Amino acid sequence: MAYTHFDDSLPDGTKNGPATLTDLRDNFQAMRDMVATGIAINWAWTAVIGTGTDEEPQFNRWNNNNLTSEWIQAEIVWGTAGGADGNAQTIEYKFSSDSQVTYELIGKIQITYAVSGIPTSSNWI
């Protein structure tokens, strides 16, 4: 059986119960796979330097190729000392449904590191 990718046009409300449930199941499985792999089908990624550098950009942004007004932004604060030096220390995730005019906060993660630079814990704050 061929793999079914996520389809943001489904369910569309025109199908009967069993067909709608099949669409939902397929989309939930595709979302599971996107989360597990970190690969978002139909979302294009761009690094934005902003106040950062080529090696440590301020933003990562993803744009939905099927609905171009949708954006996800990750604003990264890079560590400057100890084990966090050169590593993402906090990442704030936001979502825009209006072509980046406004963003809504999804959540913020804080990452701690051992002196060696190995991540030891993370916490949504």
Per-residue model confidence as pLDDT tens digits over 17-73: 999 999 999 999 999 998 888 888 888 999 999 999 999 999 999 999 888 899 999
67 and 25 housed in the same domain:
no
32 and 53 housed in the same domain:
no
End-to-end CA gap in the chain: 42
Per-residue model confidence as pLDDT tens digits over 102-121: 999 999 999 999 999 999 99
62 and 114 housed in the same domain:
yes
36 and 65 housed in the same domain:
no
Banded pLDDT at 96 (limits 50, 70, 90): very high
7 and 66 housed in the same domain:
no
- Quote the number of domains for the chain: 2
Dig out the tokens for 110 from the structure: 């804080």
Q: CA 121, CA 58: separation in Å to the nearest integer?
A: 22
Instruction: Give the 3-state secondary structure of residue 50.
Output: coil
Which of 76, 68, 70 shows the shortest CA–CA distance to 95? Answer: 70
Quote the distance between the C-alpha of residue 12 and its chain's center. 24
3 and 14 housed in the same domain:
yes
47 and 23 housed in the same domain:
no
23 and 54 housed in the same domain:
no
Q: Which residues contact 100 (CB under 8 A, 6 or more apart)?
A: 71, 73
23 and 49 housed in the same domain:
no
79 and 22 housed in the same domain:
no
SS (H, E, C) 41-84: CCEEEEEECCCCCCCCCCEEEEEECCCCCCEEEEEEEEECCHHH
Domain range for 12: 1-41
